[in-house]
Amino acid sequence: MNCPHCQAPNAEDARFCGSCGQATSATEPTTHAELREQPVLIGREIAGRYRIQAKLGEGGMGAVFKAEQISLKRTIAVKLLRPEMASSQLLLRRFNAEAEAVAKLSHPNTVNIYDFGQDSDGTLFIAMEYVEGHSLRDVIHREAPFPLRRALSIALQVASSLTDAHSRSIIHRDLKPDNVMLQQRGRERDIVRVLDFGIAKLREENRQSQMAMTQAGDMLGTPQYMAPEQIRAEPIDGRTDVYALGCLLYEMITARLPYEAPTIMSLLSKHLLEVTVPPSQRRLDLALPPAIDQLILSAMAKDPNLRPATMEAFGEQMAELLASLPVDTMQATAQRAVPSSGYAPVVPTPAAYSAMTPSGANPTATYATHGPQMPAPAFAAPTAPPPQVPLPPMHESSVPTHHARGNGSNKALCIVLGVLLIAGGGVGIVIATRSTATSNDEWGGSAVIDMGKIQETMEDGEGPDVDGVGTPTPSGSSEELVYGIPPECERFAKMVERLAGCSMMPVETRTQIKEAADQMRDGYKQGFPASMRGQMIAGCEMGASTYEQMLGQYGCP
């Protein structure tokens, strides 16, 4: 028979699909009578605090419902666990450990846990943040294969969430598309929220407890994304989640699971024994670069010691690959698979990814950002570490334009490029210039900007030769300058003003932002080349989306 969800062939007596893992029957039985009769639960109050409104879904541990937190009149999600979870002391201990551990998580890409406990009838519950959006499972079904840029951006945010969890000794153990939600906030899309650390356990639990739970008949994980050591009931660590994320990335870019089989047992056998077919060979039509094969196959190594040592290390590898993608690959995939909204996540750099993770003590760490996709962008690795604080453009002035030469023009150009650098996510930007001279050799083509020289220029207050930042300029030429910021950048300027005045942010960060804003005012007094207007506007749009998300993350008014 064919699976009603993914249409994959299965044995006639199969209860669960060997491809997608979902029940092959829409009426798959459950031991929880009330979960079989959804209308019975609608309107019911849980622990006198939460009123059930609608059923959202069902998993291996119970069902999830949309509910109202009565005291605050806010919408939340409530997970009701199956009765057998409370009947076994072993499973009850797992529930308590899971809920206590996950409730401590606080990360922009992680769904928050508000409360947990036991209702008067003995039903265990977890109250959590209600997330509006679509599961990655649904989005993969509709839109895969994803462009590399989009897939890596999603995977980076998942990695950031899991890195935070791992730093608190929490392993997800059941990472799959169903447990990743994609939100859209205004013009931003693909904001990742990892949920249902439903079988998460403290890493410090001894192996005896793990074996006991496994021997109790409960398989901790989903077969399609399960690491070999997890299948063998061996000790696990963060590399188990690395394996699952490698499987997830494989599926996003190929629209195929790494392993497919008609039964669960044969599927598990493939994870244990079969060599993984590289994504580029699985989908020859996509012309995937060898680097993506290396990245995914490393994450999916059978031996955990051959995988990236930590989730943070895997995230840094993904960020490096994302920053190094050639323009033709990025354009081709974007044109093929980016939805009609036209927006795609901003490309993060390895340095930006490091700031996303909790490993350091940097109080100004930022997170994965999103913004509008620039038409035909080109990226190259930065030649020097990017500045840590976004450089905001300020308001439009009424000073007229005129022709000018000299260091003032060059300094303004450096400042504009700095805005684009930061707003574009911290990667070295390749500015495509159009010829305005008689010879293409004199003026045209592309030029990689030396961000180290730009930063030196902005620090010492002097403008270098334009050639010094890698932008070819014909000798003796002049260009019209524009004074002030275009109206299209007003939203960006307002975002920066709000950040600079946000008391929720560290004082040092606000001071740096204010200093950067003052520097921008001085720079714009000297003007910027009219030819840079389009790039600057694109940078402002990208930066506005970035800062809007930062405002939300810091809880700024």
Domain assignment present for residue 21? The answer is no
pLDDT (0 to 100) of residue 5: 65
Cis preceding linkage at 363, omega within 30: no
Q: Tens digits of per-residue pLDDT, 480-492?
A: 777 777 777 777 7
Q: Are 464 and 414 in contact (CB under 8 A)?
A: yes
The span from the CA of 493 to the CA of 543, in Å, is: 10
What's 126's DSSP letter?
Answer: E
Same domain (yes/no): 85, 211:
no
- 91 is a domain residue: yes
342, 386: one domain: no
Predicted pLDDT of residue 208: 37
Residue for token digits 């009609």?
340
For the stretch 368-381, pLDDT in tens is 333 333 332 222 33
The mean pLDDT value of the chain amounts to 70
Judge if 180 and 104 occupy the same domain. no
User: Per the domain annotation, does 3 fall within a domain?
Assistant: no
Establish if 352 belongs to a structural domain.
Answer: yes
228 in a structural domain: yes
Residue 4 lies in a domain: no
84 in the same domain as 218: no
Residue 237 falls in the annotated catalytic set: no
* Same-domain status, 445 and 550: yes
Q: Please tell me the predicted confidence (pLDDT) of residue 487.
A: 76
Mean pLDDT of 510-526: 67
* Residue 325, domain extent: 134-372
pLDDT digits (tens, 9 = 90+) for 213-270: 444 334 556 899 999 999 998 999 999 999 999 999 999 999 999 999 988 889 999 9
CA gap 102, 168 in Å, rounded: 9
Rounded Cα distance, 134 and 174, in Å:
18
* Number of domains composing the chain: 3
Using the predicted structure, report yes or no on whether residue 361 has a pLDDT greater than 90.
no
Residues 287 and 431 in one domain: no
Q: What pTM, to 2 d.p., does this model score?
A: 0.56
The string of DSSP codes covering 325-358 is: --HHHHHHHHHHHS-TT-EEEPPPPHHHHHHHSS
Sign of CA dihedral 257, 260, 265, 271: negative
Q: Are residues 198 and 66 in the same domain?
A: no
Residue 183: CATH number of its domain: 1.10.510.10
Give pLDDT, residue 545: 64
Q: Which of 372, 407, 438 is the last residue of a domain?
A: 372
pLDDT higher than threshold 50 for residue 410: no
Is residue 53 predicted with pLDDT exceeding 50? yes
Residue 405 lies in a domain: yes
Whether residue 60 is contained in a domain is answered as yes
410 and 363, same domain (yes or no) = no
Query: 77, 108, 129 — which closes off a domain?
Result: 129
Quote the tokens at residue 367.
């997170």
Higher pLDDT, 141 or 366: 141
**Tens-digit pLDDT profile for residues 126-160:** 999 999 999 999 999 999 999 999 999 999 999 99
As a whole number, mean pLDDT of residues 172-183 equals 94
Q: Which of 174, 178, 196, 241 is catalytic?
A: 174
Helix (H, G, I), strand (E, B) or coil at 97: helix
Reduce the DSSP state of residue 79 to 3 states and report it: strand
SS3 212: helix
368 with 388, same domain: the answer is no
Environment class of 99 (CB within 10 Å of its CB; exposed 0-12, middle 13-18, buried 19+): buried
Higher-pLDDT residue of 528 and 104 is: 104
Do 101 and 241 belong to one domain? no
Among 79, 112, 129, the domain boundary falls at 129
Could you tell me the CA-to-CA distances from 124 to 111, 131, 508 in Å, in that order?
A: 19, 21, 44
Is 70 exceeded by the pLDDT of residue 405? no
**370: three-class secondary structure by DSSP:** strand
DSSP states along 396-455:
---PPPEEE-SHHHHHHHHHHHHHHHHHTTSPEEEEE----SS-TTTS-SEEE--HHHHH
CATH code of 37's domain: 3.30.200.20
For residues 246 and 294, the answer to whether their CB atoms sit within 8 Å is no
pLDDT grade for 100, boundaries at 50, 70 and 90: confident
Q: Provide the strand spans (E) within 44-167.
A: 45-46, 50-58, 62-69, 74-81, 113-118, 124-129, 134-135
pLDDT category of residue 310 using cuts at 50, 70 and 90: very high
Same domain, 221 and 326: yes
Q: 405 with 496, same domain?
A: yes
